Structure 1
Amino acid sequence: MRPPLVTFSDEVSEASNAEGTEFGDERILECVQASPRDIEPGELVTQVMTAVRDFTVGEPQGDDITVLVVRCRGEAQI
């Protein structure tokens, strides 16, 4: 199975905790890499969003937060 395409708005990586530390691209990558390879896209979105909420612990959201996960099923045909 191919890995999913994961894209997100800047507020996902820029979400900050009380100390002002940003969630960052590395934490997003860790969430994706820690998930099962066959995870459903919606479940992966939930995992990333939960990780962001757990990290920010109630800090106000500065902007929109969007995560999109796309999985290609089947073989590419040209």
Structure 2
Amino acid sequence: MIILKKPVNSDETTSCFCCDKSILINSAKLMDGLYCCNNCFEKRKDIIFRRRTSKINLFLVEEQLKKLEAKSKAKLISPDEDVEY
């Protein structure tokens, strides 16, 4: 069985998952499979969540985060921590 994807019309709109603003699908950014507007994508792209990282790589990520936090480019948060954007 072959499943064909519906072609995306450039005039179709969707809502940003983060701020609920109406955006064109062609200009939307995909973040974890969800559509986001450019502003929300830029705000969140530097945040690294622990729950997305395997335990094997966690030590390496924490070392990289220490360097990034020293440069004020990233913030490590836990999945249950409230985050203000």
TM-score relative to the length of structure 2? 0.21
Please say which structure displays the higher CA radius of gyration: 2
Higher normalized contact order (CA 8 Å, seq sep 6+, divided by chain length): 1
Give the structure with the larger strand fraction: 2
Give the structure with the larger helix fraction: 1
